[in-house]
Amino acid sequence: MRTVQDGDGKTYLLLKRSDSEWLIRDPETDQETYRPPADLEMLDEESPLSVAAKAVSQPLRRVLTAVRTERSLGLLLELERDGPLSVRAMLDRFEYCESDLHGQLAEFRAAGLIEERRVTGERGYGTTETASDALETLEA
């Protein structure tokens, strides 16, 4: 499997190729079509598996790549359900040491899943719309 791009910049997965036509699949719709090779360009810089992952919504992909353990998934779910929460409240409530909590929160922030908020005058965090959308899908 290879990654190809059409003239409009849309990426596809190349499934089969012959001299006259290539079978490609749109990773977002899963639709397969035959196109002339002249209409497509090979892309070496984008992994076919990364392109295939685009079948999953962008918010859900963010959660799946940022959440590596059940514990971190639980933290994100609790922030969604009961948040925003202050850092102090999270340290009291969850089984995280301070450095582990800050490390996990930093990963969530980098993924765009949480944002800093003031909670009862203290620094805290709440989930973003991206996280909310993804968690809603996971819980369904």
Alpha carbon 122 to its chain centroid, in Å, reads 29
pLDDT at 25 over 90: yes
Q: Give the per-residue pLDDT at 47.
A: 86
pLDDT in tens, 33-74: 999 999 999 998 888 888 888 888 889 999 999 998 999 999
Distance (Å, whole) CA 20 – CA 27: 22
pLDDT in tens, 1-11: 899 999 999 99
pLDDT in tens, 106-133: 999 999 999 999 999 999 999 999 999 9
Q: Give the per-residue pLDDT at 119.
A: 95
Residue whose structure tokens are 């949480």:
114
Name the CATH topology of 58-139. Answer: Arc Repressor Mutant, subunit A (1.10.10)
CB 88 within 8 A of CB 99: no
Give long-range contacts, CB 8 A cutoff, 24+ apart: 26-33. 27/51, 27/52, 27/53, 27/54, 27/55, 28/54, 28/55, 30/55
pTM: 0.74
Q: How many CA atoms lie within 13 A of 95 on its CB side?
A: 4
